[in-house]
Structure 1
Amino acid sequence: MSAPPSSAPRWMLYGASGYTGRLIAEEALRRGHRPVLAGRSREKLTPLAEQLGLEVAVVGLEDVRGLVATLEGLPLVLHAAGPFVRTSEPMVQACLAAGAHYLDITGEIPVFENTFHHDAEARARGITLMSGVGFDVVPTDCLARYVAERVPGAHELDLAIAATGQASAGTARSALEQLPSGGRVRRGGALQPWPMGKGLRRVRFSDAERTVAPIPWGDLVTAWHTTGIPNITTYMALPRGAAQALRLTYPLLKRMLAVDAVRHTAERLIESRVQGPDAVARSQNRSHLWAEARAADGRRAQAWLDLPEGYAFTAVAAVRAVEEVLAQKPLGAQTPARAFGADFVLSIPGCQRQEVLP
């Protein structure tokens, strides 16, 4: 294909043929970008590239030299190929070698920790490393910073998500990968194990009160770097029966997933049966967030955020993050809210934040 006009931002979208990658590619084109659609399968990439009129780069993640060569002349990679715990590090290494910014849409705790592990290298290379530029963790990270700024010296932070709709195959594979690791919370600045299903509570979201359970979201890492608050718990809204059943069934589920045959069967079922929400669901469903920061002297602040369905949000947020990184070029390992501010989420259409209540 002919090269795009010099005025059109040109960067690499790796994992472009996946469910979320396609949505990001379409959104990027709508916003005037000309990303190079990359991945390991020409067969999967070519139809999308022909539909959108974009370039294709075929390279596997095991080929680091090939990745570096492919990145020549490209300032940035948006990595959308999961499970990220398997795929992120090779691309990070390629970006460090090529001097290209690295962004991804992960929600996996080990990936966030690894990204921050490379902070000094990224600063030395003059590039940005930013994991979690989608539904997890852009909205929660921005809401965490918003409430933290209203309670200087806060020592506790709670974040809760209520999301509707089904997961994509990529999200389901990532969840399957992380499930055996169990629950986590942050206490005294350190990640600590937490029994799955323990700590149920009721949270008032903007539209309804729901039962939530502690779930190990990526915000346990990102909110710590964004706010410095040492005690963080992240929750997800679940039907009360499901939340209670999680505590009872998790030990058995963990043992089952330790068996290779069981895990591989689950992965095949995900690939064959999990499709992700359709266009109608993406346009109609909404997500709801709540955050509270508390200080030892009793000061506290709460805030609420309503936003579009998660995958629709991710497509726009990821491209907006690309735009901000190319414009601002923040150095080193970053979180979205630390780099762009608490109001970054409000630049995504359909996001509404409720003011702090006394």
Structure 2
Amino acid sequence: MNPSTNTTPRWLLYGATGYTGVLIAEEAVRRGHEPVLAGRSREKLAPLASRLGLDRVAVGLDDMRGLVSALEGLPLVVHAAGPFVHTSEPMVQACLSAGAHYLDITGEIPVFENTFRHDAEARRRGVVLMSGVGFDVVPTDCLARHVAEKVPGAHELDLAIAAVSQASAGTTKSAREGLPSGGFVRRGGHLRPWPMGKGVRRVRFSDKERTVVPIPWGDLVTAWHSTGIPNITTYLAQPAAVARALRFTFPLLQKLVAVGAVREQLARLVEAHVRGPDEALHQTGRSQVWAEARAPDGGRAEAWLEAPEAYAFTAKATVRAVEEVLAGALRGAFTPAQAFGADFVLSIEGVRRMDLSA
């Protein structure tokens, strides 16, 4: 690995001009970092680099030699350019070649699985590979490990999220990529298909009770690695009518996105109209997470987490993860809770955790 000789933290932020990339860049500067801003377009990078007083480099993900060259002298990459199912692997390979740590903000199940497939090589190369250092999946991963540690031998884990936010264009594109695969749960240690809309239930969050529906959140992979619990279901809060309607509307959505012309039109609409939450929502929005671990002998632990709005949280959590990786000596592929422990989420400004054990 080629560490920077500058005492100010310097690392590469790829996808810096995207909605979340800008937030990460701003948070990094606020915390005294000097990330090098990177992406495909020099023209798009220039205004942000000028505003924040940062260096920039334009390079495409199809240019492996250029990526490795861009990493020279930099110890770490934060990869913020999705959909990650298409963009993650080239950057992982560049990091392995350059001897640089790799972090991303994905929530995509295939990406988590692929990151862990590189564990042995990452150990040999002396680097950390860590997907999901934002709202996907830091709050849920840390809360999952927290309740699991309270219930030795837990065999079931339920996680639910109520995220008061608005999706960015990047998040919407990633979600669209996952639509054809449908729903999943983990049973007996394996991912199993699960009909979307099946298993709707009510969950008491720290502020109020909500209707939740099973969705394929990244913790179906990460919580399995963090806790070893073999049966995991992840839920998202939805209006009751929406949750009930998913069983009937989701198959139609799957058929629609399978049509190339429809996908192209959706992409144009997303680019034109999806902007993500505004600054007011960043400041006032609160996200809720609930987790419950259960053991065959009746042991049970339940906990809640309150956190900032999802994108504001992602910016803060990403920079904190960068700091932890650069300060540590870990090598290999990890989830955030594996690497930093269940209490890592509490080091992020605006987070509160509550417990109930029985």
**Shared fold (TM-score greater than 0.5)?**
yes
1:17-96 matches, cutoff 5 A: 17-96=17-96
| Secondary structure, aligned partner of 1:349 | coil
| Secondary structure, aligned partner of 1:162 | strand
In structure 1, what residue type is equivalent to 2:276? G
Residue 15 (structure 1) shift: 0.2
Provide the rounded CA distance (Å) in 2 between the counterparts of 1:145 and 1:284: 28
Deviation track 1:105-159 (CA, whole Å, cap 9, x = no partner) reads 0000000000000000000000000000000100000000000000011000000
5+ unaligned residues in a row in structure 2: which ranges?
Answer: none
| Secondary structure, aligned partner of 1:296 | coil
Is the CA contact 1:169–1:271 (under 8 Å) kept in the aligned structure 2?
yes
Residue 5 (structure 1) shift: 8.5
Provide the rounded CA distance (Å) in 2 between the counterparts of 1:234 and 1:289: 11
Greater mean deviation of Cα atoms: 138-147 or 162-171: 162-171
In structure 1, what residue type is equivalent to 2:344? F
Deviation track 1:194-228 (CA, whole Å, cap 9, x = no partner) reads 00000001000000001100000000000000000
Is the CA contact 2:118–2:333 (under 8 Å) kept in the aligned structure 1?
yes
Provide the rounded CA distance (Å) in 1 between the counterparts of 2:234 and 2:183: 10
In structure 2, what residue type is equivalent to 1:314? T
Is the CA contact 2:300–2:357 (under 8 Å) kept in the aligned structure 1?
no
Residue 7 (structure 1) shift: 1.7
Provide the rounded CA distance (Å) in 1 between the counterparts of 2:257 and 2:276: 23
Where does residue 314 of structure 2 map in the other structure?
314
Identity of aligned residues (%): 73
Provide the rounded CA distance (Å) in 1 between the counterparts of 2:347 and 2:7: 22
Figure out how many residues of one structure are paired with residues of the other and give that number: 355
Q: 2:278 aligned with 1:278, yes or no?
A: yes
Where does residue 161 of structure 2 map in the other structure?
161
Is the CA contact 1:15–1:79 (under 8 Å) kept in the aligned structure 2?
yes
Is the CA contact 1:212–1:243 (under 8 Å) kept in the aligned structure 2?
yes
Is the CA contact 2:140–2:289 (under 8 Å) kept in the aligned structure 1?
yes
TM-score (norm 2): 0.98
Provide the rounded CA distance (Å) in 2 between the counterparts of 1:21 and 1:113: 23
Provide the rounded CA distance (Å) in 2 between the counterparts of 1:146 and 1:64: 39
| Secondary structure, aligned partner of 1:355 | strand
Where does residue 215 of structure 1 map in the other structure?
215
1:1-358 matches, cutoff 5 A: 6-358=6-358
Is the CA contact 1:85–1:110 (under 8 Å) kept in the aligned structure 2?
yes
| Secondary structure, aligned partner of 2:78 | strand
Provide the rounded CA distance (Å) in 2 between the counterparts of 1:293 and 1:61: 40
Is the CA contact 1:127–1:329 (under 8 Å) kept in the aligned structure 2?
no
Greater mean deviation of Cα atoms: 244-253 or 214-223: 244-253
Query: 4+ residue stretches of structure 1 with deviation over 6 A?
Result: none
Provide the rounded CA distance (Å) in 2 between the counterparts of 1:5 and 1:231: 46
Greater mean deviation of Cα atoms: 4-13 or 321-330: 4-13
| Secondary structure, aligned partner of 2:132 | coil
| Secondary structure, aligned partner of 1:353 | strand
In structure 2, what residue type is equivalent to 1:251? P
Is the CA contact 2:83–2:173 (under 8 Å) kept in the aligned structure 1?
yes
Provide the rounded CA distance (Å) in 1 between the counterparts of 2:41 and 2:23: 18
Provide the rounded CA distance (Å) in 2 between the counterparts of 1:305 and 1:253: 32
Going from structure 1 to structure 2, the CA distance change for 1:122 and 1:76 (only over 3 Å counts) comes to same
| Secondary structure, aligned partner of 2:277 | coil
Deviation track 1:67-123 (CA, whole Å, cap 9, x = no partner) reads 011111100000000000000000000000000000000000000000000000000
Provide the rounded CA distance (Å) in 2 between the counterparts of 1:149 and 1:274: 40
Residue 357 (structure 1) shift: 3.5
Provide the rounded CA distance (Å) in 1 between the counterparts of 2:344 and 2:279: 25
In structure 2, what residue type is equivalent to 1:90? P
Residue 274 (structure 1) shift: 0.2
Is the CA contact 1:183–1:196 (under 8 Å) kept in the aligned structure 2?
yes
Provide the rounded CA distance (Å) in 2 between the counterparts of 1:43 and 1:191: 42
Provide the rounded CA distance (Å) in 1 between the counterparts of 2:6 and 2:124: 28
5+ unaligned residues in a row in structure 1: which ranges?
Answer: none
Provide the rounded CA distance (Å) in 1 between the counterparts of 2:138 and 2:329: 18
In structure 1, what residue type is equivalent to 2:70? T
Deviation track 1:261-305 (CA, whole Å, cap 9, x = no partner) reads 001110110011000001001101101010000001110000000
Is the CA contact 2:41–2:58 (under 8 Å) kept in the aligned structure 1?
yes
